């Protein structure tokens, strides 16, 4: 009986810690989304052509982005989709098209200004990782 009483406080401590960690994780995720407010400018034909501007806010999804909920989901699930391609990586010389997208604003409470292009395999992959945040890239010749 004494052994059962000795483990009960230990079990309680583990349960309290688990609940605290779960609450911290959930509130941290919501806080990060609350601090996301982006402007996404897209040039489908390159910077010499016309552009489209979207706004995006998360928690709840809002703005002029046509797929705001899906874009906020990508931002919540994926790590930093805005990270640049590392300098020391080799990229295939595969041209993906003239499309350019610039994203600026606040992401998880930090200022952000980054540009996406499709000039090689690494940049094409980076564009793809951004998922619904950016417009879908063309699928080849018409």
SS3 assignment for the chain: CHHHHHHHHHHHHHHHHHHHHHHHHHHHHHHHHHCCEEEEEEECCCCCCCCEEEEEECCCCECCCCCHHHHHHHHHHCCCCCCCCCCCCCCCCCCCEEEEEEEEEEECCEEEEEEEEECCHHHHHHHHHCHHHCCCCCCCCC
* Band (140; pLDDT cuts 50, 70, 90): low
Residue 120 has pLDDT above 60, yes or no: yes
The burial of 107, by beta-carbon neighbours within 10 Å (0-12 exposed, 13-18 middle, 19 or more buried), is given as: buried
How much is the average pLDDT of 121-128? 94
pLDDT at 136: 86
Residue 108 has pLDDT above 60, yes or no: yes
Residue 9 has pLDDT above 90, yes or no: no
Per-domain residue ranges of the chain: 35-133
* Band (1; pLDDT cuts 50, 70, 90): low
Q: Which two tokens stand for residue 123?
A: 């940049």
Nearest to 107 by CA among 60, 27, 37, 42: 37
pTM: 0.72
How much is the average pLDDT of 42-71? 95
pLDDT at 34: 60
CATH of range 35-133; options 3.20.20.70, 3.30.450.30, 3.30.350.10, 3.40.1010.10: 3.30.350.10
pLDDT at 14: 35
Residue 74: Cβ within 10 Å count: 16
- Dist CA 74 CA 63 (whole Å): 16
Q: Which two tokens stand for residue 89?
A: 């990586």
Q: What percent of the chain has pLDDT over 90?
A: 65
Residue 50 has pLDDT above 70, yes or no: yes
């Amino acid at each position: 009986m004494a052994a059962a009483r000795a483990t009960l406080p230990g079990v309680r401590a583990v349960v309290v810690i688990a609940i605290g960690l779960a609450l911290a994780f959930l509130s941290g995720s919501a806080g990060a989304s609350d601090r996301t407010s982006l402007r996404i400018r897209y040039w489908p034909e390159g910077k010499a052509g016309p552009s489209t501007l979207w706004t995006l806010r998360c928690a709840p999804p809002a703005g002029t982005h046509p797929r705001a909920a899906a874009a906020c989901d990508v931002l919540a699930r994926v790590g930093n989709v805005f990270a640049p391609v590392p300098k020391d990586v080799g990229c295939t010389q595969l041209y993906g098209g003239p499309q350019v997208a610039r994203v600026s604003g606040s992401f998880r409470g930090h200022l952000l200004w980054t540009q996406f292009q499709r000039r090689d395999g690494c940049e094409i992959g980076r564009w793809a990782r951004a998922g619904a945040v950016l417009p879908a890239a063309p699928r080849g010749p018409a």
